[in-house]
Amino acid sequence: MKLVPLFWKSWSFWLMILTAILGAAEVALPLFTSVLPPKTFAVASMLTGIAAAVARTIQQKSMHPDAD
C-alpha cells in the first residue's frame, strides 16, 4: 500500500478529520445538553462527511503542484 503524495494538503482530508472530531463530540453531547440543541454535532458531522465525499471526487490543485 502506498500513501497518496501530499495527502495532508488536500481539503478533503481535513474535512474527514473534522467529521471524525464532530463524531467524537457527538458522543460527549449528553454532557452539554443545556448548552447546545440536540443533534447539533450529528448534523454537522453528517454535512462534513458528505462534503468530504464530494471533495474526494474533485481534483485538488494542492495535491498536484507540478501539474500546470
**What does the pLDDT look like over 9-64, one tens digit per residue?**
777 788 888 888 877 877 777 776 677 777 777 788 888 888 888 877 776 666 66
Please state the pTM of the whole predicted model. 0.60
Q: Which of 50, 55, 60, 51 is nearest to 6 (CA)?
A: 60
Give the total number of structural domains in the chain: 1
Classify residue 68: in a domain, yes or no. Answer: no
Q: Which of 24, 11, 5, 23 is nearest to 56 (CA)?
A: 11
Q: Which of 42, 48, 47, 44 is nearest to 29 (CA)?
A: 42
- What is the structure's pLDDT at 65? 62
User: Which grid cell sits at 35?
Assistant: 448548552
Classify residue 29: in a domain, yes or no. Answer: yes
Domain that holds residue 55: 7-61
67 pLDDT higher than 70: no
Greater pLDDT, 24 or 7: 24
Helix (H) or strand (E) holding 39: none
